[in-house]
Amino acid sequence: MNRIFRRFAYCVPVVAAALIYTAIASTASAAGDNFCRSYATSAVNQQTRNMASSCGYSGVRWHTFWSLHYNWCRGEANWRANDEHNLRNSRLAACGA
């Protein structure tokens, strides 16, 4: 048992450092409050257009729950939220909304 422990003991600091780095990096890259407020408002407006134009899109990105859009955005990088916004816009354009 001691032999196994000694052999893999160097892994503990490496794994701990990786976990700390990941936590810091994900917090540092998360979208900000104002950005996400705008994102959530836009997402709700896009869903309203989806329903008004009878496009029929549904799923996790197509709903009118502002707080869900906002909270999702707060855990993502700006580029990811922008990609979602652009995807919804292109789908709405394809539908003629």
Please report which confidence band the pLDDT of residue 15 belongs to, taking 50, 70 and 90 as the band edges.
very low
Say if residues 31 and 77 touch (Cβ distance below 8 Å).
yes
Angstrom distance (rounded) from CA 30 to CA 26: 6
Please report which confidence band the pLDDT of residue 11 belongs to, taking 50, 70 and 90 as the band edges.
very low
pTM of the predicted model, to two decimals? 0.70
Rounded average pLDDT over 13-22: 47
Domain edges within the chain: 2-95
Burial class (CB in 10 A: 0-12, 13-18, 19+), 72: buried
Q: List, for residues 42-93, the tens digit of each pLDDT value.
A: 999 999 999 999 999 999 999 999 999 999 999 999 999 999 999 999 999 9
Answer yes or no: is pLDDT of 13 > 80: no
